[in-house]
């Protein structure tokens, strides 16, 4: 089944404790992206990747890191999480950038930083 998976689905952590949220897609998509969803703000892009080893900042990149060493995986790293990073996070993928292709979303990761 074609899908985007994220792990973990739920995470409660404390300020300053490094964490990684994994994202994987099995559709051989070139483009992958991370969004965060906050009430009243919709979804906002954190980082995106046009292909392996090609990543760039989105609208809200502060406090986050990403890497794209393999085409299928695009982990989101919070080196020192803070309470303002409490949010619902989505990973998405599409066949290629600039093409208007539909983006397929993962199931979301609910992160709480205490």
Partner 1 sequence: AQTVTQSQPEMSVQEAETVTLSCTYDTSESDYYLFWYKQPPSRQMILVIRQEAYKQQNATENRFSVNFQKAAKSFSLKISDSQLGDAAMYFCAELEYGNKLVFGAGTILRVKS
Residues that bind partner 1 (CB under 8 A): 31, 33, 35, 40-45, 48, 50, 56, 58-59, 88, 90, 92, 94, 96-103, 105, 107-108, 110
Whole-angstrom distance, CA of residue 33 vs CA of residue 12: 23
User: Toward partner 1, which CB reaches closer, 34 or 113?
Assistant: 34
Backbone angles phi, psi at 76, to 5 degrees: -110, 125
User: Toward partner 1, which CB reaches closer, 60 or 80?
Assistant: 60
Instruction: Kindly state the smallest distance separating residue 16's Cβ from partner 1, in Å.
Output: 27
With a CB cutoff of 8 Å and minimum separation 6, the contacts of 35 are 43, 44, 45, 46, 58, 89, 90, 91, 92
Instruction: Kindly state the smallest distance separating residue 55's Cβ from partner 1, in Å.
Output: 11
Instruction: Kindly state the smallest distance separating residue 41's Cβ from partner 1, in Å.
Output: 6
Q: Which pair of tokens denotes residue 56?
A: 């760039």
Whole-angstrom distance, CA of residue 102 vs CA of residue 106: 13
Instruction: Kindly state the smallest distance separating residue 72's Cβ from partner 1, in Å.
Output: 17
């Amino acid at each position: 089944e074609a899908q985007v998976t994220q792990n973990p689905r739920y995470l409660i952590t404390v300020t300053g404790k490094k964490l990684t949220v994994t994202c994987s897609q099995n559709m051989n998509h070139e483009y992958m992206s991370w969004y965060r969803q906050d009430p009243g703000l919709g979804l906002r892009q954190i980082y995106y990747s046009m292909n392996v080893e090609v990543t760039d900042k989105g609208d809200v990149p502060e406090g986050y890191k990403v890497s794209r060493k393999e085409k299928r995986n695009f982990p989101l790293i919070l080196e020192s999480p803070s309470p303002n990073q409490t949010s619902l996070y989505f990973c998405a993928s599409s066949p290629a950038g600039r093409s208007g292709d539909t983006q397929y979303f993962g199931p979301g990761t609910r992160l709480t930083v205490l």
